[in-house]
Amino acid sequence: MTEAIHISFIANDTNAIASIRGKIAIVVGADGTMNVLTRKINTLTEGAVKRLLESKAWAKIKEGEGHVLAFPANLATSAVQVVKLGRSVSAQEARKAGASMAVFRGDEPLTAMLASHSRAADIAHGLALRSYNFNVHKTDTNMILHMVSAMVADPAAVSAEHAPMAALTEGVFFTRDLTNEPANILTTTEFAKRLTDLRGIGIDVEVLEEDALERLGMRTLLCVGQGSRSPSKVVVMRWNGGDTEPPFALVGKGVVFDTGGISLKQAGGMEDMTMDMGGAAVVAGVMRSLALRKAKANVVAVVGIVENMPDGNAVRPGDVIKSMKGDTVEVINTDAEGRLVLADILWYTQEKYNPVAMVNLATLTGAVIVSLGHENAGVFSNNDRFCNQFLKSASAEGEGAWRLPLGSAYDKLLKSRIADMKNIGGRSAGSITAAQFLQRFVREETPWVHLDIAGVTSPGPTTLAPKGATGWGVCALDRLIRDHFET
């Protein structure tokens, strides 16, 4: 797993500033307000910071962005980044400032001089998240994690505030690593192994192999993988940090590679289908974060891990498959495979665990990208209160999410002549009919949110992530659980 940078919180020390090597980042309010450390640097550099604040360049800089003073006089550092950040800023603005510092740092040691800033922990969190670098498959790589220090007025207090954020960073990195891995490395078997390794941090993990899935009647899931040499699996992860209350449930689509099957995709861009397991990766990242921060909640996570390949044994357009629930599905397009995976595991999760609420995630449709681009995930729900709780959590974490409708009028698009339903409804309202299909496998009394994350899984680079997997959803779901499902 990509190792997160370790940030040391140290006490303010104006006497040490002149001899600090590597790089230095400082924060200044939009009105030019300097903290004690920034004033010291301004003095040592003979007013260089003040001159910057009086310049037109500073006026053009937005909150959370910075300007670099290279090789400043009287300092051992190679550069000082002056970041515009007031004291009364949101967590998102503070994390943006930290991300700016991470980009500025590059591969050198960094000292962030935050003094008594009220958002010091959030600045550090943004710095850690943006420092991610997936380079495990590069042969010419400097693997040294250079030191990052943060000078603060109260190191113990800021360190304690940052601790759960550090656990969250670990979960986000786990999600990004899984999503970035090529399919020849992250096979269905390897994916399941990486999830079983979570036992080492206290998560109960069970792997259901194909024979068990056949006995359970998970035929829609199994049909997706029947053209692949890699065995289909369902992995169940349980974090039991609460009392005796029913668990909150997470369900994820884990298609390690999606060719489209017999309904073969176009060649252009197919390499990105290594990320079609992004929903399962987010679920895994949330579970890792919950365990590392010892969340006082009961959470069950179920992911369906398959590979969708064309083969003489692959499911065909026109085949009729019976789901675990008992409903029959006419497969019109084998590239609409994610909903077939989710149908069975959504039903299994409710039958087995009777969750208090349930969220599923999937890179489900290209149609959601047409609707919302790469800024927002599509949100669908059968419960207004639960949906609003999630939307509030996503907003608080700066993870874009937008609710789209469900409704019985869309059911006519899924009508089949020979089965209970088709697996695709045509071009119109593609992301909505996909969600409408999934809703048929959700009990009316189960509060449920479906997240179509096709547009947000890998748009990169973003403010908090380099190009590649973003880890979208880990932070929002962790907050949802923390705010509403912890005892």
- Separation CA 423–CA 373 (nearest Å): 24
Give the alpha-carbon dihedral of 82, 87, 93, 97, to 10 degrees.
Answer: 20
Q: Is the dihedral of CA 119, 124, 130, 134 positive or negative?
A: negative
Q: Name the nearest CA neighbour of 363 among 348, 378, 375.
A: 378
Give the alpha-carbon dihedral of 167, 172, 173, 175, to 10 degrees.
Answer: 130
- Separation CA 236–CA 198 (nearest Å): 11
- Separation CA 416–CA 436 (nearest Å): 14
Buried b (16+ CB within 10 A) or exposed e, 235-244: bbbbbebbee
Residues 6+ apart with CB under 8 A from 486: 241, 242, 295, 296, 297
| Candidates 339, 440, 479, 482; catalytic one | 339
Q: How far is CA 187 from the centre of its chain?
A: 20
Q: Radius of gyration of the chain from Cα atoms?
A: 24
The amino acid at residue 390 is F
Residue reference for tokens 């659980």: 481
Residue reference for tokens 């220090």: 149
State the greatest distance between any 2 C-alpha atoms of the chain, in Å, as a whole number: 82
Q: Judge whether 339 counts as a catalytic residue.
A: yes
- Separation CA 88–CA 109 (nearest Å): 28
Helix and strand numbers (H, E) in the chain are 15, 17
- Strand 298-308 to strand 233-240: parallel, antiparallel, or no bridges (unpaired)? antiparallel
Cα dist from 467 to 139, 182, 270, whole Å: 19, 15, 17
Residue 67's beta-bridge partner residues? 82
| Candidates 265, 296, 322, 403; catalytic one | 265
Q: Name the nearest CA neighbour of 436 among 372, 377, 380.
A: 380
Show the beta-strand stretches assigned E in 225-364.
233-240, 248-258, 298-308, 320-322, 328-330, 357-362
224: tokens are 């997706």
Residue 10's beta-bridge partner residues? 151
Q: Name the nearest CA neighbour of 120 among 103, 145, 97.
A: 97
Q: Judge whether 265 counts as a catalytic residue.
A: yes
Q: Phi, psi at residue 346, to the nearest 5°?
A: -65, -45
> Which residues participate in catalysis according to the annotation?
265, 339
